[in-house]
Structure 1
Amino acid sequence: MSEELEFFKQVKKVYHLLLLLFSLFVIAGGALVYYMANPEFFNFNKATEVAVVVEELDPDRIENGIHVATGFVDAEGMMTVVRNCTACHSSKLILQNRMNADRWNATIKWMQQTQNLPDLGKNQEIIVNYLATNYPPVDTGRRPGLTNIDWYELD
């Protein structure tokens, strides 16, 4: 009886092996048919080309009087500011500040003393003129006093 049981176990193993081989044959045959229909699908060495529309950003592009890359006002000296100032910090740091020429010069001097900013030479005057002209201090506080008002008496 045990010989028969051993025989059936061996037949079962052969059956499973044949079933596995048949399944692999069917899968490989299907892959071969698919490859014949779509050979590019299996070409893993070739980079897949994807059509993507990317707007090229010109670093010097000006739109509506504003330098697109930095947000600076397009005026004389702007590119000197871009080259000398935005190499170390964001243009937003400049845009949020508004100072007169003396304060811009003092800020540059502070950066030279504490932040290792090198001497700007003749560019400093160009930079300060640009900044003081386009980003001057803005008066804040109370509105100006009322004038030319027809006052009337309350009863």
Structure 2
Amino acid sequence: MLSNLLNEVEKEYYNLLNECDCEDELNEEELEESYLILAESDCFEEIEAPLIVEAEYRGKKVKLNKPMRGDVKKYKVYVKNDKGNIVKVNFGDPNMRIRRDDPERRKNFRARHKCDTATDKTTPRYWSCKFWSSKNVSDMVS
């Protein structure tokens, strides 16, 4: 059921691309995220489904908002900033393990980095905090 809904979101994205004939003309809000509400029996659950959009960074095609193993730091991610430019965000210490499965370590890390207020996707803090959430890190990295 979830895969069918994600396919519908992807189709809608490509319909938007075909309507304006150019990815740059789309409103950033239309591309950045899509929210789905799934109905399962009597309860509703909101699931955040970010659209992976391909863009160009220094002549190379990259996927936006998809963390991957880094070259300078442990991880890197390409994001679109406020001006509409694609920027690379490097984050993480390559010599340290992410020990987020220990509840005490996770709590201390998230408090130390003020993860509750990290909302800017163009900062390393946002992505580090995202990795220290309850989601499995290997599911986030490509």
Scaled to the shorter chain, the TM-score interval is under 0.3
Larger proportion of helix: 1
Q: Which has the larger radius of gyration?
A: 1
Give the TM-score of the pair, scaled to structure 1: 0.23
Give the TM-score of the pair, scaled to structure 2: 0.24
Bigger RCO (CA 8 Å, 6+ sep): 1
